[in-house]
Structure 1
Amino acid sequence: MGSDGDATRTYYCLWVNKKSSANKSQKVQTGESSNKRIGSLFSCPASAQDLRQLDLEKEKEDEASPRGVLESCIRDFEPEHQPDESETSCSSPRAQSHWGNFFKLWKKRSLKRLPSSLQTLPSIGVPKLPKWKSKSTRENHSLNNLYNFRSSLVTFSLSELRNATNNFSNENIIGRGGFAEVFKGRLQDGQLIAVKKLTKGTTEEMIAGFLSELGVIAHVDHPNTAKLIGCGVEGGMHLVFELSTLGCLGSLLHGPDKNKLDWSKRYNIAQKIADGLLYLHESCHRRIIHRDIKSENILLTESFEPQICDFGLAKWLPEDWTHHNVSKFEGTFGYFAPEYCMHGIVDEKTDVYSFGVLLLEIITGHPALDHMQQSVLIWAKPLLDTNNIKELVDPSLGDDYDQEQMDHVVLTASLCVDQSPILRPRCNTAKR
């Protein structure tokens, strides 16, 4: 499936309108008059272009279709529309106007690039919840979650984000990825934030990535996942998260303050990351594959509680799918599972492999790839094979660790980085 199609479905999931009752009555009326319409179409000559135009007009009226959702959202941001304050939180009228421009740009540049077969689809359903829930429960739950998510977002203006990050100063950068940079900042009320600024790709690619990540985060709610507090589309695309003074696990684990991470904290961090992954894979009402689990994507709260962040590469895995096949190679070297490198296979086991590498970082204190580009896995493999835990453990820990806990984490790490995905444990097993 193309990225434009994925982004459009994500867009639909995020901004779906709550007028479901109106849609149902409209569908009944459409069904009653369909015979008359078909008769009128075949009783007079009509070109393919005329028929296509009729389809487009019908899609605009149908708020369950991708184009209808887009039209509805654009109408919400047009000047004559006065939205209820409960519908969306905007920090300024100027910021709200940028959302209108954003959606018009998406409509103009991206939607028309969709394959005609997708453009003429009458509707795309809301992603389903587990089958054990009734249809009405699943639909209402998804719609309510997505609507409430939209309502809770704060929309930041560019000036607010510049003031918070010292004009996106290089000194404020706390992370870099293939498509974005992350800046630490402080709002006027003193709240610490992390601003993810999309920096690479075409306009269409950045919009698709932005909507895709928002669409995933809309379904995520767990103590060990990052908390999105808002976003902004003025002067670029920005996602704003909560941030604590500790920053990310990677900067603490491989920096001068690594002594703050004694074994009890490391063990708790490892367990809580496993909790977060288990939630994404099995407990979240959408199966989510993160695809970029690494120490830099684990934020630490002031009490050293880990939070998985950066869902820019995350994939939804439908319940009847075993895996995704991706052609675009994305992620972080040092954490790639073999089957992903060779065949582009993405499923829960690719996250488990990355988690295994992360456990080795926590145990040894070595980065996934050092300055000589040596892999911690290659370095640790002989020690794992001989169960030489004394040489494996981070020297900064000394002998100050619980031997039983260490044995458990070392065993878990060695199982998670197995070359065969079949032999790797699932998150519910790894957590034990």
Structure 2
Amino acid sequence: MKGRRKNSNKKQDVKWRNNRYECNESDDQSSPRGVLEVSGSCSDSDNSGMLFCEKRGDGAETEQSWRKNLIDNLKRKSFRRFSMGALVAGYEHSRKSFVMKMGRNNSSDATINMAKPSWRNFTFHELAMATNGFSSDNLLGKGGHAEVYKGCLPDGQIVAVKKITKKEKKDEDRVGDFLTELGIIAHINHPNAARLIGSSSSNGLYLVVQYAPYGSLAAKLHIFKENLNWSTRFKIAAGIADGLQYLHYECNKRIIHRDITASNILLLEDYEPQISDFGLAKWLPEKWAQQVVSPIEGTFGYMAPEYFMHGVINEKTDVFAFGVLLLELITGRCAVDAHQQSLVIWAKPLLEQDNLKELVDPRLGNAYELNEVKRTIMVASACIHHMPDMRPHMKRVVQILRGESTLELRQNTFDGRSIILDACDLEGYTSTTYLKDLNRHRQLIME
């Protein structure tokens, strides 16, 4: 159950006439890339093209004067290269200023033209044609903040089109949130994280990302209840861990996803997992230990105690959610079941008793690699610790899952009274207290 208000289910108004889509958008499909073009043609007023021109045939030009012209031309070329470099730098500065202004723009019809060589700026017409007018038949899923549609581009590429639906927010807030998500996902380059294909800001806000043919982990594991074998589950767990390690430590800036859930894990070919939906993600400055955010948004069942109690986020927020995901893969249970019971509450006593038999999904039977299951259970137990500093970071998680490290040093991961403990006043905070707070948090959401 989402801990954020869902929007009303309003469909995009689409007009069709004679089986053709009509809109007010221009059909200009030129490249969105910012390209500075320099004319190379010859003219009397611009001698920059002289290098490519034949010598004049009137005989007036001597060999000496031709050499002089050649040298002068090369100088102009060098100056032009220098000037273009300055122009590019100025253009980038202008683009950043434009983006900042767009965050304060109260017009939803404003066009955001982000110059990024690796992704496209689509028109609304293109996206409407790709999704058959955002037909309900193409709807892949929807949540409190967005709807996702399957689309097919003219070149045959299958994509997922994310339509932002934060209608309850002001236009400037919606644009600001969109630019934040766009800026984050545009800088991501990892096989286990969403890949941006393009975006659009005409007639709404849209992100176009890589399509996942196997859907979400939640759909496979809980809705269709497919009996994923253990090797597939372990592969998914390891892939998510790699993706989170990248976001936390290897990306240009630290990214805290804030909504790691089974629904936001998409499955590509061969069940390769991909972390998606960066609508709640936050940049975290390098020197900041954590950040306090408001409002507290996320999915009940995955939120760490320091987050839902105090709004404190850092890498350990995602680590907690990853621990819940591991429990889902191990047990086959939802993070929150039909009776609104938390998986963490159900699993805690079994984890403390090392009750592997009761924890492992009965659909697996005995068809699993025992050492891998034990390592995964140990990691899950450590990740959902009620004290953030007692949770391992994702680098350690990856090592443990690969069998390159153990949890014997877990007690050493607590390195004194940290800033997070001061912020949350968690001294003496016990597992029992945490479970009570979790129940209280659930009740508040249900009311």
Which bracket does the TM-score occupy, shorter chain normalised? 0.5 to 0.7
Paired residue secondary structure (1:195): strand
Deviations 1:388-431 (A, max 9, x none): 11111112111110111000001100100000001000001111
Alignment correspondent of 1:164? 130
Alignment correspondent of 2:208? 240
**Aligned CA distance change for structure 1 residues 71 and 215 (closer, same or farther; 3 Å):** closer
The 8 Å contact of residues 158 and 232 in structure 1, kept in 2 or not, is answered as: yes
Counterpart CA distance in 2 for 1:338 and 1:71 is: 38
Counterpart CA distance in 2 for 1:104 and 1:275 is: 35
TM-score (norm 2): 0.65
Structure 1 residue 175 displacement after superposition: 2.9
Paired residue secondary structure (1:310): coil
Of the candidates 289, 301, 318, which is equivalent to residue 334 of structure 1?
301
Counterpart CA distance in 1 for 2:102 and 2:187 is: 25
The 8 Å contact of residues 295 and 358 in structure 1, kept in 2 or not, is answered as: yes
Paired residue secondary structure (1:239): strand
**Aligned CA distance change for structure 1 residues 319 and 23 (closer, same or farther; 3 Å):** farther
Paired residue secondary structure (1:241): strand
Alignment of 1:116-127 (within 5 A): none
**Aligned CA distance change for structure 1 residues 253 and 69 (closer, same or farther; 3 Å):** same
Alignment of 1:253-264 (within 5 A): 253-256=221-224, 258-259=226-227, 261-264=228-231
Of the candidates 351, 372, 385, which is equivalent to residue 339 of structure 2?
372
1:301 paired to 2:268: yes
**Aligned CA distance change for structure 1 residues 16 and 186 (closer, same or farther; 3 Å):** closer
Of the candidates 147, 152, 177, which is equivalent to residue 186 of structure 1?
152
1:174 paired to 2:154: no
Counterpart CA distance in 1 for 2:92 and 2:283 is: 21
Alignment correspondent of 1:286? 253
Alignment correspondent of 1:216? 184
Of the candidates 106, 109, 130, which is equivalent to residue 109 of structure 1?
106
Higher Cα radius of gyration: 2
Structure 1 residue 287 displacement after superposition: 0.9
Counterpart CA distance in 2 for 1:149 and 1:108 is: 19
Deviations 1:124-149 (A, max 9, x none): xxxxxxxxxxxxxxxxxxxxxxx997
TM-score (norm 1): 0.67
- Across the aligned residues of Structure 1 and Structure 2, the Cα RMSD in angstroms comes to 3.0
Letter in 2 for 1:164: A
The 8 Å contact of residues 331 and 361 in structure 2, kept in 1 or not, is answered as: yes
Alignment correspondent of 1:197? 163
The 8 Å contact of residues 192 and 244 in structure 1, kept in 2 or not, is answered as: no
Structure 1 residue 71 displacement after superposition: 6.8
The 8 Å contact of residues 292 and 351 in structure 1, kept in 2 or not, is answered as: yes
Paired residue secondary structure (1:274): helix
Q: Which runs of 5+ in 2 are unaligned?
A: 1-32, 37-79, 108-112, 401-447
Paired residue secondary structure (1:387): coil
Aligned residues: 316
1:383 paired to 2:350: yes
Alignment correspondent of 2:281? 314
The 8 Å contact of residues 124 and 202 in structure 2, kept in 1 or not, is answered as: yes
Paired residue secondary structure (1:151): coil
Counterpart CA distance in 2 for 1:315 and 1:72 is: 21
Counterpart CA distance in 2 for 1:24 and 1:246 is: 45
Counterpart CA distance in 1 for 2:316 and 2:115 is: 29
Deviations 1:38-86 (A, max 9, x none): xxxxxxxxxxxxxxxxxxxxxxx98686xx446778xxxxxxxxxxxxx
The 8 Å contact of residues 316 and 393 in structure 2, kept in 1 or not, is answered as: yes
Alignment correspondent of 1:99? none
Alignment of 1:75-94 (within 5 A): none
Of the candidates 356, 364, 368, which is equivalent to residue 401 of structure 1?
368
The 8 Å contact of residues 63 and 72 in structure 1, kept in 2 or not, is answered as: no
The 8 Å contact of residues 222 and 276 in structure 1, kept in 2 or not, is answered as: yes
The 8 Å contact of residues 17 and 69 in structure 1, kept in 2 or not, is answered as: no
Counterpart CA distance in 2 for 1:367 and 1:191 is: 33
Deviates more, 1:368-377 or 1:184-193: 184-193
Alignment correspondent of 1:52? none
Higher helix share: 1
Structure 1 residue 214 displacement after superposition: 1.2
